Amino acid sequence: MSDLFVNKVANSGLITLDLERFLPTAAIVTFDLKDYLFMGLILKEKDYREALKTADWSGYEGQNVAITCSADAVIPVWAYMLAVSYLQPVAADVFLGTADEMRKHLVVRQIEAINTDEYIDQRVVVKGCGEVPVGDYAYAAITRALLPVAKSIMYGEPCSTVPVFKRR
């Protein structure tokens, strides 16, 4: 009897894809329009424009910026557009929504940017457990990205997978 152990998982030809690699590493900064509201309720165009003109934008340089309004106020669309016009030249990325929504946006954009050529006709296991929780939205996005190219997509760990898709 041989004492040789064979790692069948390593020899299986499976590609393990860890979605944690798509999580943003840079912080997300929030630009909150509530700070520009008169009496916490109303956005006055003239005052808002003047405040944006004189604002110090250096704190947003190279940052991922989520534009939101945490106050319960009706904000006109042009107000968000105006904020973007000041932030876009200095920020790494600008997104309308909460910091959590921007995080999802950044993850999905990273997933959509992958080179799927390396997954053509491959058996891919999308890692299910990790150090940092990855939202369900990321699993849906990677499935959308891999469906046209992968031979099969599985969820879990190489030693224990749940089949998701198999090309026939």
Q: Averaged over 126-154, what is the pLDDT?
A: 93
Q: What is the largest CA-CA distance in the chain?
A: 86
Q: What is the pLDDT of residues 34-51, one digit of tens each?
A: 999 998 889 999 999 999
Whether the Cβ atoms of residue 142 and residue 128 lie closer than 8 Å to each other: no
**Enclosing domain of residue 61:** 28-91
Coil, helix or strand at residue 160? strand
Mark which of 63, 91, 119 sits at the end of a domain.
91
- Do 113 and 83 reside in the same domain of the chain? no
- Do 37 and 78 reside in the same domain of the chain? yes
* Stated pTM of the model: 0.82
- The secondary structure of 135-165 as a DSSP string is -HHHHHHHHHHHTTT-SEEEEEETTEEEEEE
Whether the Cβ atoms of residue 44 and residue 6 lie closer than 8 Å to each other: no
N-terminal to C-terminal alpha carbon distance within the chain: 40
Q: What is the pLDDT of residues 150-168, one digit of tens each?
A: 999 999 988 889 999 999 8
Number of domains in the chain: 2
- Do 140 and 156 reside in the same domain of the chain? yes
Residue 4 domain-assigned?
A: no
- Do 112 and 162 reside in the same domain of the chain? yes
- Do 109 and 69 reside in the same domain of the chain? no
Task: Provide, rounded to the nearest whole percent, the portion of the chain with pLDDT above 70.
Answer: 93
